A and B are shown apart, each in its own frame.
Chain A
Amino acid sequence: MTQTSPLAETPDAATAKPVRRRGGFRAMLPTWSARLGVGLLLVIGIALFGVLGPMLVGDPDAISSIGMTEPSGDYLLGTTQTGQDVLAQLAHSTRGSLQIGLLVGVLATVLSAFFGIIGAYTGGFLDEAFSLFSNVMLVIPGLPLVIVIAGFVPAEDRGLSTIILVLAITGWAASARVLHAQTLSLRNRDYVAAARVAGEKRWRIVTVEILPNLLPLLASQFVFAIIAAIISEASLSFLGLGANGQHTLGTMLYYAQNGWALQLEAWWWFVPPGLLIALFGCGLSLINFSIDEIINPKLRVDARTAKAKAGGVAKEARAAATAVSPAPDQPDRELVLTVEGLNVVYQTEKPVHAVKDVSITLARGEILGLAGESGCGKTTLAYAINRLHRPPAEVSSGTVTFHDRGGPDIDLLNLGDEELRAFRWSKLSMVFQGAMNSLNPVISIHEQLDDVLTTHKPDMGKAERRARCAEVLRLVGVDPRRLDSFPHELSGGMRQRVMIAMAMLLDPQVMIMDEPTTALDVVVQRGILREIIRLRDELGFAVVFITHDLPLLLELSDRIAVMKAGEIVEYAPSGQIYERPSHPYTRQLLASFPSLTGERGAFVRAGGTAANDVNEGAAR
């Protein structure tokens, strides 16, 4: 262990330059998409019309002698009942509506940011008061309130500013709630705590540490507020409660309505303003979609993923694969699972070869340890064995053969969907990483276990199923009286036991366990490992145990496969791995775990100078 410096740079880490991705303000910009393009085009087009249009057209109020004419060379959009130019009115109205939308958007966003962010960050009484206030504002039905307020102010005093104020006051509450929730989550992040420990002042934590991370959300709320303001203003004006003497799209519709435009079929009068409102809302919504994608990257539709789904498994390639078995096979081992030359590739922009030519065998009653660090492909391998991998992951070549007890061998990778469903869980089951948190919180333990039995063994009676559920719980050391408990009533260790019980329900021949005890305390972990060993001895199933904890595997498993960057670099009985590790990476991993009772190994605490720096491994 001493000849290789265990923590020196690995060649991998040295060559792998971190991918430069977008950070800071650049991360706030939406990614380009057709949706965003159309949205921007609409919004910018209409905005330009609103800004420049009024300078190019004539007086919107000028009354000419020809009323109600259809669009013609003189009047591109015809005239109103009183002979005013519709195009001129439209240009001025668009400007008015945009002005209202923008100002209300700014005001409402400022209000919501103030009440949402300040309240959530300060907490305590202020938060309660602010929350109560915004909740009250939220439950008051918006439009009626607007009508009441607007109607209360005499028509002659009802200027643009009144309308803007009224709309802003009634429009901020919903986004304050959203910002409040997001701020609550952000203020509990460690980086906020770190800023407090560093001694930052409160206002700086809010403005410098929290606010930038809220920007995409604020932007989307702002866009939303503009849409809402323009539409509300249009409704108000349409009802005749709009700003006095102002041109907006709403007042245009109001006059069109009063001028019997609909009855007279003067479409040129009411269609253009209606269409502009619709298109502008549409454009802003499209932009909002793109902003939402920054907040929630899951919304991004990946074209490549869709393509990979259609691709499926490349079967020809698999047949051509060469099978190498480095396993030191003893003839007396009765195999239950053989993996040969398995390759799994993530078909992304740059294909990632996650599992490279892996060959392992698993005998009945054997515990095989799969050791490796994060990103080494151990979970991908486990998923591929059970065909649980999803696009863009693809098995490019190799075979997985299951040697059924008293039955023919099963070629797992060529099973049809229906056969696969019957096979999974009944012959090969899996305990997933963080499985204890995957129990459904609103369904009792019994119902969740029962569900597996009703799916796989439909001919079992109700009493029989309940007896089986109780039996597996007893097997993993949980009192069967807990059958009717709900997951939150059990501790983490108990929930993990229930998950293992669920994996054992159908008496499988192989269990794949992916980090089943990583989240648990060591004493609890020991209790669960003890159950696994005991059950293996009693029931004779085989286990593939995946973890990064090499000392644990050394104690627990019969054989260990050490994985690094998708390859199995060493595959041997665990005694041999511990005493005579042959691969440098295995030695490096072993040295990473200081011994509890033995010497310090690679641990340097006192003395030494230059040599230590190597052991501090800066590369990763």
Chain B
Amino acid sequence: MTTLEVRDLVKDFRIRAGLRSSRLRAVDHVSFTLHPGRTVALVGESGSGKSTIARMISRLERPTGGEIVATGPDGRRVGDRAYRDHVQMVFQDPFASLNPFHSIEHHIARPLQLHHKSKGRVDTRRQVEELLERVNLTPPEDFAPRRPHELSGGQRQRVAIARALAPGAQVVIADEPVSMLDVSIRLGVLNLLARLQREDDLAVLYITHDLATARHFSDDILVLYRGRVVERGPADEVILNPQHSYTRLLASAAPNPEKRGRSLAELPGAIDEQDLARSYDHTTGSWVSFENARPIAVAAANPAGGDRTQV
């Protein structure tokens, strides 16, 4: 059982505008731990740095600072070579994450061969079919030779999940795994992920901008704004009893038919000034001021957009 610990993760991007170049801090001292059998949700809007964190954990980007440590079942740190046996990723867009040229079988067989999970062609074939069956793509022998364009979005995402599980990964990073899918099949894919998690005791990082699924799908929630964690704690606590003004803003902005008739005319608020440099931790029940991370810029304190002064 693998545990993944993220410590003080920092990522800077260099932005070139003409001859000048400036640095943008996309992720600012983020720390959390993924435990087997538990799901952590990273919640935030576009530009909050959540996908950058996913890409760093998947080793598609190199962190500017901090470290990502996977600890194997034997209690020892997982080395660089074996890292990808333990940590795998499910991408957001199933229409882009499968190679249009290759068959479904290729997508699942390759990780099996790369990570030496199968011996010989017959064994690979058998394992591919097993994995397809596990993600409910039955009959597997019908799906294996197909190509991605012959599958619907939901079916493609199942293939992507099977591919992530093929190397025997214990930590799965799911970067907005359902946001590109039709609404009526989203829960199906999430329920599938949840079952696989129970069966294999997976540690899951669920990245999303949808508070409702984050609450129901995960154990803990981290709310991210401009690369900083502004609130963290058990899922129900964070959503039902939000403390940070940004989390409250997010929760109030989500469509909620139960509050039908609520006046839509109310202004989405802004972030309290005192909240710009602190975060709330529900496990300790206290405010923590940003230790290493810089305060959020005042200019970014009004996520609703629009020019308020004129209205």
B213 within 8 A of A: yes
A441 within 8 A of B: no
Stretch at the interface among B1-9, B63-71, B90-98, B285-293: B90-98
Q: Which residues of B contact A605 (CB under 8 A)?
A: 194, 216-217
Question: Once bound together, how far apart are the Cα atoms of A13 and B182, in whole Å?
Answer: 13
With contact pairs A23-B149, A197-B58, A524-B305 given, residues A596 and B253 touching in the complex (Cβ less than 8 Å): no
Asked if residues A616 and B267 are in contact (CB atoms below 8 Å), the reply is no
- Residues of chain B in range 81-120 having any CB-CB distance to chain A below 8 Å: 84, 88-89, 91-93, 96-103, 110-111, 114-115
Docked-complex contact A596 and B265, CB < 8 angstroms: no
Q: Which residues from chain B contact A533 at a C-beta distance below 8 Å? A: 264-265
> Considering the complex, which residues of chain A in the window 473-527 have a beta carbon less than 8 Å from any beta carbon of chain B?
474, 476-480, 482, 491, 493-494, 497, 521-527
What are the interface flags for B298-311 relative to A under an 8 Å C-beta threshold, 1 for contact and 0 otherwise? 00000111111111
Interface string of A5-25 (1 = CB under 8 A from B): 011001001000011110110
Cβ contacts under 8 Å, A592 to chain B: 183-184, 186-187
Which one of A263-271, A382-390, A547-555 contacts B? A547-555
A7, A18, A531, A595: the one contacting B184 at CB < 8 Å is A7
Residues of B within 8 A of A212 (CB): 99, 101-102
In contact, A616 and B306 (Cβ under 8 angstroms): no
Q: Considering the complex, give the chain A residue whose CB is closest to the CB of B60.
A: A193
A209 interface contact, C-beta 8 A: yes
Contact B239 A597 (CB under 8 A): yes
Q: Does B76 contact A (CB under 8 A)?
A: no
Other-chain residue from B84, B253, B257 in contact with A522 (beta carbon distance below 8 A): B253
Complex contact B265–A530 (CB within 8 A): yes
Residues of A within 8 A of B239 (CB): 596-597
B251 partner residues in chain A, CB cutoff 8 A: 596
> Inside 8 A of A526's CB, which chain B residues have their CB?
252-253, 264, 268, 304
Known contacts: A199-B115, A530-B264. The answer to whether A18 contacts B152 by CB under 8 A is yes
Q: Within the assembled complex, what's the spacing in Å between the Cα atoms of A373 and B183?
A: 7
A24 touches B306 (CB 8 A): no
B256 (CB) vs chain A CBs: closest residue? A596
B100 touches A23 (CB 8 A): yes
Q: Which of B59, B88, B303 contacts A524 (CB 8 A)?
A: B303
Asked if A593 and B188 sit within 8 Å, CB to CB, the answer is no
Nearest CB of chain A from residue B209's CB, rounded to whole Å:
7
**Can you name the residue of chain A whose Cβ is closest to the Cβ of B213?**
A594
| Docked CA distance A144–B297 (Å) | 59
Beta-carbon contacts of A206-243 to B below 8 Å, as 1s and 0s? 00110011000000000000000000000000000000
Task: Pick from B150, B163, B188, B305: contact of A615, CB below 8 A.
Answer: B188
CB of B167 closer than 8 Å to a CB of A:
yes
Tell me the B219-265 residues at the A interface (CB within 8 Å).
239-240, 249-260, 262, 264-265
Q: Find out whether the CB atom of A24 lies under 8 angstroms from the CB atom of B84.
A: no
Q: Are B152 and A620 interface neighbours, CB within 8 A?
A: yes
Given A190-B91, A555-B264, A603:B254 Cβ within 8 A: no
> Across the interface, do A194 and B91 meet the contact criterion of CB distance under 8 Å?
yes
Which residues of chain A are within 8 angstroms of B91 by Cβ–Cβ distance?
Answer: 190, 193-194
CB distance from B226 to the nearest CB of A (A): 12
Across the interface, name the chain A residue whose C-beta is closest to B153.
A620
B212 engages A478 (CB within 8 Å): no
Residues of chain A within 8 A of B260, CB atoms compared: 554-555, 574-575, 578
Q: Flag A587-620 by CB within 8 Å of B: 1 or 0 each.
A: 0110111111110101111100000110111101
Interface size range of chain A in the complex: 35 or more
Query: What is the 8 Å Cβ interface bit string for chain A, positions 274-299, against chain B (1 contact, 0 not)?
Result: 00000000000000000000000000
**In the bound complex, how far is the Cα of B89 from the Cα of A280, in angstroms?**
51
Asked if B188 and A617 make an inter-chain contact with CB atoms under 8 angstroms apart, the answer reads yes
Chain A nearest Cβ from B212, distance in angstroms: 4
A24–B96 contact, CB under 8 A? no
Determine which of A497, A591, A596, A612 lies in contact with B212 in the assembled complex, contact meaning CB atoms within 8 Å. A596
Q: Are A374 and B182 in contact, with the CB atoms below 8 A?
A: yes
CB of A523 within 8 A of CB of B188, answer no
A538 to B255 CA separation, bound complex (whole angstroms): 23
A460 within 8 A of B: no
Contact B96 A190 (CB under 8 A): yes
When the two chains form their complex, are residues A24 and B303 in contact, meaning their CB atoms are under 8 A apart?
no
Report if B266 contacts A (CB, 8 A).
Answer: yes
- Interface window among B23-31, B121-129, B154-162, B272-280: B154-162
**What A residues does B62 contact at CB under 8 A?**
none
- Closest A residue to B101 by beta carbon equals A212
**Residues in A neighbouring B194, C-beta threshold 8 A:** 604-605
A479 to B115, CA, bound (A): 57
Quick one: which of A213, A474, A524, A594 contacts B216, CB cutoff 8 A?
A: A594
- B215 an interface residue at 8 Å Cβ cutoff? yes
Contact A522 B264 (CB under 8 A): no
Q: Of B137, B166, B183, B253, which contacts A525 at CB under 8 A?
A: B253
- Name the residue among A575, A591, A594, A595 with the largest chain B CB count within 10 angstroms: A594
Residues of chain B within 8 A of A606, CB atoms compared: 198
How close is A540's CB to chain B, nearest CB, in angstroms? Answer: 16
Q: Is A303 an interface residue (CB 8 A)?
A: no
- A314 sits at the interface (CB 8 A): no
B56 at the binding interface (Cβ < 8 Å)? no
Q: What residues on A are CB-neighbors of B186 within 8 Å? A: 592
B249 CB contacts on chain A under 8 angstroms: 523
Say whether, besides A193-B91, A213-B100, A616 and B216 are in contact (CB < 8 Å).
no
CA distance A529 to B255 in the complex (A): 11
Q: Is the CB of B191 within 8 A of A523?
A: no
Q: Known interface pairs A23-B149, A603-B190. Does A555 touch B100 (Cβ–Cβ under 8 Å)? A: no
- CB pairs A–B below 8 angstroms (24 shown): A7-B185, A23-B146, A24-B101, A199-B111, A212-B101, A373-B183, A477-B308, A477-B311, A478-B310, A493-B305, A522-B209, A526-B268, A526-B304, A527-B268, A531-B306, A533-B265, A551-B255, A555-B260, A594-B216, A595-B257, A597-B240, A597-B256, A603-B190, A618-B158
Identify 10 new A-B residue pairs, CB closer than 8 A, beyond the known A23-B149, A526-B264.
A18-B152, A191-B96, A193-B97, A198-B163, A477-B308, A521-B209, A533-B265, A574-B260, A578-B257, A604-B191
A: residues with CB less than 8 A from B are 6-7, 10, 13, 18-21, 23-24, 27, 189-191, 193-200, 208-209, 212-213, 373-374, 474, 476-480, 482, 491, 493-494, 497, 521-531, 533-534, 537, 548-552, 554-556, 574-575, 578, 588-589, 591-598, 600, 602-606, 612-613, 615-618, 620
Residues of B within 8 A of A (CB): 45-46, 55, 58-60, 84, 88-89, 91-93, 96-103, 110-111, 114-115, 135-138, 146-147, 149-152, 154-155, 158, 160, 163, 166-167, 182-192, 194-195, 198, 209, 211-213, 215-217, 239-240, 249-260, 262, 264-268, 303-311
Chain A to chain B: the 6 pairs with minimum beta-carbon distance, closest first:
A617-B188, A23-B147, A618-B136, A493-B305, A479-B307, A554-B257
